[in-house]
Chains A and B, each alone.
Chain A
């Protein structure tokens, strides 16, 4: 009966008790840590990019004094929009990624295929239109009350150009019944409204 004797000793009990207590405390702490991370997660979702955190400064350098290279819209089938707001044919992009401004077909801040609601049928036009300096108030408004789904996206945006690139893309706002566009004609929107709802496309 050596065992039970040992168990009756207070220090043994104390050790066991302390160990157990420590274990539970650690466990509870860990769980609370997990809870925190969960909250963190939700917080992150709620966290918005403050409109002022974005660099709104328009890129002003022109062809003549350009030592700097341009970011552009990369993907276009025929057209490219650069970060200064110029739209040009793919062939007229120089080696720095900028549109050649001397070509007559190159346009700046064009809203050619865009409607009044802020939706365009050509992606590059949407970017160019969105880069207009006078669109800033609208974009600030959009940033300050973004729907939940766009937080991840807009949280990673750093400046006006990136915001326009991201905003103009088709998104969950662009579809009806998941597998068709709300408006297949004008689906790229820089504005705060989704594209106008059209009857389901007839194929």
Chain B
């Protein structure tokens, strides 16, 4: 506790628990180990539980349902360790004999695992069941006895309806209840721990040191969950068929692997002697050893050679200790450690760490520098799923292999971060990440003191790939000159197996296939490739969200951000310009394409953003249009070549075009005025979410407003994203402008234009959020990474800026912060830290509610309920004009920390804004509140919003607006039509060019490549993990036995000596003669010796 307090100090709360959880949020990096327990709905026995498959597939999704019931008289006896069949039977019969239970028998299990020691047994008891169970539970080798359950699972497709959301709520409620924890230690009356009873539905405790104990070890709950899944293989290497490569004699030899983690002890039994080449410490703790177990586990997955196998047992390990035992780490430690890694000419580097700050330039630059020096970086994508927009740096960089997690059922693990990158917002569109997924849930690896344990998290998935990459690199070590970060990534992507029903922003290119990647690498020829390798905007669900909305004339162009990987050299460029070739027979001329791309592809990668738009000729056309983009990539000559290396890449394009929808159906989402972390401290929109203080998911309809977007699509609205100022769109095209939770200032020109647009029929719907200067000062905190106090630059939303925008309409929001549950019609609502309306035209429709004054609560610690808080206002300024709607809270639309959604409200408001129909639910509740003139909120004195703003001038003193930037102008590429047709299905396993024909694999013993998991079966002879039952248990006991014996022995000797002395004291006479005798012998005179 003391140590964690040193890491960060927060002024807000006196609650110890909260201090712990706040801490790591702002540390730049954190270890990506998952605490799945907290984020998964708990499964109850006998309850019907439904698990959602990872993705929303547009209209449908797969639902896995299972029900379980207890089987009578059958019990699972779980032992404290792994024992052989006979030993288990012995224990049970001994226990039951004592209890006098005679009619019982073991239920045989027929599976390959029966030959191996197990830690449980199935038993059927005929009579005296209660006695029998008691006896079993009292046996010292038995951990617990549980009733046998029959689990029935069904798969079905269901439509994406309200059911989904209802379920979400259920989970949230459960979460709330389960977290209404113990009262906090309230030491300061003015600063009470008032948030303690609420927790997020998506706790991110894995980031905090406090979570470590809970997150690290598999807890009971997790075990219960696990039983419902398929069997978990004992060896992760078997699940990926590493034996195939081992069988060919490749074991990672000659490859230098760096592990940036919590260190490793020097004599861990799982590593071959001499393989740990170097251990260095870059932290301020003077040790090289792992005190957490994270580094040991990661190193084990990469190169353990006993018990739980790693992929490359003969690779040279370079251990970099960059995390303290308290999970503290600084950018500067990483910089120095990375420099050392470059100097040591590391081949593969695993980073099971990540953080949200992709604007940490020194770090990002250094990662580029590393890959530019041919270090293959593998990094974990993050454990912040299932929310979108949660990718972690450095895994989200183009030159890094970003790894997501799946479970052994080949579903995306719930914790795995996903969604596009948010670097490119607001003007552009994010890149596809993760690059690849692999097993990251319940993977077995090395424990800190020998033995094995299971862990989950993308932290685990990353070393799986890093180990596989090391093994691959050693298998093609004779072709070392073509192996580089790009070619390795290309091979992994091209060989990956796509998971069905999961979109590319969750799975990237799919699941790692080690053997196939090897085949590709063996014949790899340096070249460039694209990720994704084609654009098919009709393919669902893989190309979600593109496939969820067709394109039409007049739409803000759909942007696909393609990553170019260039295996030919660290630097390269696109020759001339990319060429757009519409296919004439397939109506390619109906679409127009514009490009923007990296001038230099460095290191090994670059981007190609493809903006797709519909030509005017197709304004009322409906159909599918196809074409292709061709680009030539060039890199300087290498290896004695005379001419530069070139590679021609083709990018097929396929889009669905529809006639332009009517104005009322078109909704414009304002992205331009949403700011997020990084770089600034933009606080959460829900003040109760103290363990997650930053607004960092991008606030985009395809990140944390994904469900809202999906709902609008289902309701028939077409949603476009405005990444430029209000002056840059044609208001006549749109029914409604949605301004949700905006943090940015507004240009004076925007304010003028919006007023005019409203008069001309554009409706505006604003979802604001809290803003109060005192509260903002209260939520400042000390960030230990930057060693600075962090003061928010706005509240949840920038109310003063919004008020400037709304002033011409006679509307304004207040600086009050309200919170509370209420009912609206028959809908349950939760107002999570919202503002209220301070001014509204008298002829407008205003709705009030009784809410708690949360601002007062934060400041004074007392809860006060306020009646008639105006939260919703509807107004139509004039005949023929658009309508304006204000609502004070945006949390019910936002997936992050969503507690009760209000998509129905958005529907109703859009019905009003687009068509002018006031739903009766509003008219019924019309309030006759009149405003007394209130002071409007002011901007906080000395705020630094100008640092992050696109609108404010960067200078000290009173902030001023910059000159209005020019609107982005797309210059569409000159088409060069081709009279050919493309196949209807663009997705094929994208082949990389190879040298010559692919030679067959000399040795393959991989039965059932894709079908059943090769799982539980082990390759005979190749492994020596079966050291006998409970090997790890025994070894740990052995170490404890010696000191005890030694201590007892010494104690015994001591007791004897004491006893002896006591005896000699109590019987002095026995000694006397002897002394006398000696004396006599020495001096010969007995007379002068005094008696004792």
Contacts and interface: CB of A to CB of B under 8 A. Distances in A.
Nearest to A92: B636
Nearest to B372: A75
A175 B1050 contact: no
A175 B332 CA distance: 7
Interface residues of B, number: 62
B361 to A, nearest CB: 7
Given A169-B342, A170-B365, A178 B785 contact: yes
A37 B954 CA distance: 54
A24 interface: yes
A23 B336 contact: no
B366 interface: yes
B1012 interface: no
Interface in B332-372: 332-333, 335-336, 339-340, 342-344, 357, 359-363, 365-366, 369, 372
A62 interface: no
B787 A203 contact: no
A179 B362 contact: yes
A51 interface: no
Contacts of B330: 178
A199 B87 CA distance: 71
A177 B788 contact: yes
A166 B343 contact: yes
A33 B742 CA distance: 62
B340 A171 contact: no
B1046 interface: yes
B786 A179 contact: yes
Contact of B1052 (A13, A166, A170, A203): A13
A90 interface: yes
A41 B288 contact: yes
Interface string B602-615: 11000000000000
A170 B281 CA distance: 19
B1049 interface: yes
Contact of A179 (B288, B636, B785): B785
Interface string A59-95: 0000000000000001111100000000000110101
A64 to B, nearest CB: 19
Contact of A171 (B335, B602, B679): B335
Contacts, number: 141
Contacts of B373: 74-75
Contacts of B22: none
Contacts of B640: 95
A42 B287 CA distance: 9
B976 interface: no
Nearest to B320: A152
B1056 interface: yes
Interface string A146-159: 00011011001100
B600 interface: yes
B850 interface: no
B679 A16 contact: no
Contact of B1049 (A20, A150, A156, A181): A20
Which has the most chain A C-beta neighbours within 10 Å: B28, B636, B954?
Answer: B636
B1042 interface: yes
B339 A78 contact: no
Interface in A10-63: 13, 16-17, 19-20, 23-24, 27, 37-38, 41-42
A95 B636 CA distance: 11
B325 interface: no
Interface of B: 28, 266, 280-282, 286-288, 330-333, 335-336, 339-340, 342-344, 357, 359-363, 365-366, 369, 372-374, 570-571, 600, 602-603, 636-641, 644, 679, 785-788, 946-948, 954, 1042-1043, 1045-1047, 1049-1050, 1052-1053, 1056
Given A42-B286, A75-B373, 14 more contacts: A7-B1052, A17-B1050, A19-B1045, A41-B281, A77-B603, A90-B571, A91-B636, A91-B644, A152-B336, A153-B343, A166-B343, A171-B339, A178-B787, A202-B947
Q: When A and B form their complex, which 9 residue pairs have the shortest distance between CB atoms, in order from nearest?
A: A172-B332, A75-B372, A95-B640, A179-B360, A23-B1046, A177-B786, A16-B1049, A20-B1049, A178-B331
Interface of A: 7-8, 13, 16-17, 19-20, 23-24, 27, 37-38, 41-42, 74-78, 90-91, 93, 95, 149-150, 152-153, 156-157, 162, 165-166, 169-172, 174-175, 177-181, 184, 200-203
15 contacts: A13-B1056, A17-B1050, A23-B1046, A41-B287, A74-B372, A74-B570, A75-B603, A91-B636, A95-B637, A152-B336, A171-B332, A174-B362, A178-B360, A179-B360, A202-B954
